[in-house]
Amino acid sequence: MSLVRNEEQRRLQETAEDFLRRNAPVSALRKLRDEGDSLGYSRKLWQEMAELGWAGIIVPQQYGGLEFGFAGMGALLQASGHTLTASPLLATAVIGASTILLGGDEAQKDTWLPGIASGQTTLALALEETHHHDPLGVELSAAAQGDSYVLQGRKLFVADGHSAEQLIVAARSSGAKHGEDGISLFLVAGDALGVLRKRTIMADSRNAANIEFDRVRVPPDALLGAAGQGWPLLEAVLDRARIALAAEMLGNCWECFNRTVEYLKQREQFGVKIGSFQALQHRAANLYTELEMATSVVLQACASVDDDPQQVALLASLAKAKLNELSKQVTNEAVQMHGGIGVTDELEIGFFLKRARVAMQLFGDSRYHRDRYAALSGY
């Protein structure tokens, strides 16, 4: 697996960064936040992204996608991290598309993938039931009634869950909590009878929801894969989500670093640029070294999805653990090196810190992934 992007992938990332800096700068996220936008992202921008092929970057051409590969998706997510772009790219184009691709039958693929690729259909994964990442801690029940299922329970912190047209719901149709057997995945309309969605206000100004499922009846064709055997599918989708999120976090880190270096070159104290202070130079050099290593980790993880599936789980946890730690370090250093103004809302650097703190918890914090990496390595 290559630790550098090829020419097409580099061109895609450069084009994406240019497009997002022009059409979705950090000021756009600030505007969404200040206006209390009910959708939480620009529908017009999302359609433009879809017209560029981004929504279908991993979708096969037979369903209207580009089939560019997961390395291309990583390039897009990294670009979006530079501008903190709010969009359904992660929830729909990565998680939703991956779930249908890996677990859907042909009828489900024909039904949903074209809509995903065109930007017309949005999805969200309803998984967590506590305030910490616990993918096996599924208690929301799926009781068979005739040829249908009835869902009962609740989900927390569903990213983009307040606006998604379809929800991918992890439910337990048999077995006990924390058991791998008995988990089933269902596609449920966001406006289905018995679904109550409450949008949450997140620190990073992004979209999430707490969702109640009160005797929600779903037909048999809503089941993705075999009943009670959804854990392998869920785990594979989560690993893709972790890698994609790590790519976004990498873009966040690079942007924070670049902005901080520029500030060090401009800010004067005692009549000289503070970038000439050796202590600050050493701190910046350390960050640069860590960023280069993290870039290699993320590129390898993205490439593994396309080229080495056996390594995906291991590299997903490595990438997420590495970017969790680096995001905390880079954003802390960025705020500190900016001095007092670093903690003010007026300066955009605070938006990067807030997004980093939420992303660090999403799909597993550092402790979760260090433990998982050790277990997968046989320790």
Residues 27 and 129 in one domain: no
Predicted local distance difference test score (pLDDT) of residue 300: 96
Residue 2 domain-assigned?
no
Domain with residue 360: its CATH number is 1.20.140.10
CB-CB contact of 181 with 174 (8 Å)? yes
Identify whether residues 114 and 58 lie together within a single domain.
yes
Contacts of 62 (CB under 8 A, 6+ apart): none
Tell me, what CATH number does 48's domain have?
1.10.540.10
Query: Are both 111 and 242 inside the same structural domain?
Result: no
Claim to verify: residue 298 and residue 339 sit in the same structural domain = yes
Q: Which of 93, 121, 149 lies at the terminal end of a domain, its last residue? A: 121
Burial group, residue 111, by CB count within 10 angstroms (0-12, 13-18, 19+): middle
363 lies in some domain:
yes
171 and 287 assigned to the same domain: no
Q: Is residue 167 part of a domain?
A: yes
CATH number at residue 177: 2.40.110.10
From 121, 152, 170, give the residue that closes a domain.
121
Contact by Cβ (8 Å): 97, 113 = yes
Residue among 294, 111, 130 nearest 219 (CA): 111
Answer yes or no: do 132 and 223 share one domain.
Answer: yes
Is the separation of the CB atoms in 64 and 93 below 8 Å? no
- 301-346 pLDDT, tens digit per residue, is 999 999 999 999 999 999 999 999 999 999 999 999 998 788 888 8
276 — pLDDT class (breaks 50, 70, 90): confident
Asked whether residue 204 falls in the same domain as residue 268, the answer is no
Instruction: Tell me: do 57 and 143 sit in the same domain.
Output: no
Q: Are residues 254 and 354 in the same domain?
A: yes
| Angstrom distances, CA of residue 109 to CA of 96, 112, 117, 119 | 11, 5, 11, 15
Same domain, 189 and 79: no
Q: How many domains does the chain have?
A: 3
Residue 368 has a pLDDT of 97
Q: Are 286 and 211 members of one domain?
A: no
121: number of Cβ within 10 Å: 21
> What is the pTM assigned to this prediction?
0.96
Domain hosting 167: range is 125-228
178 by Cβ neighbours in 10 Å (0-12 / 13-18 / 19+) ranks as exposed
Give 3-state DSSP helix, strand, coil % of the chain, rounded to 5.
55, 15, 25
Out of 79, 106, 121, a domain closes at 121
Cβ atoms 161, 167 nearer than 8 A? yes
Is residue 305 in a domain? yes
Quick check: 268 pLDDT over 90?
A: no
Residue 323 to residues 4, 94, 247, 328: CA-CA distances in angstroms?
A: 18, 18, 9, 8
**Residue 34 domain-assigned (yes or no):** yes
DSSP string over 158-199: EETTTT-SEEEEEEESSS-TT-STTEEEEEEETT-TTEEEEE
Output phi, psi for 216, to 5 deg. Answer: -80, 120
Higher-confidence residue of 299 and 343: namely 299
pLDDT at 1 over 70: no
**Residue at token pair 């109550």:** 196
- 1 in any annotated domain: no
Based on the fold, state whether residues 208 and 147 are members of the same structural domain.
yes
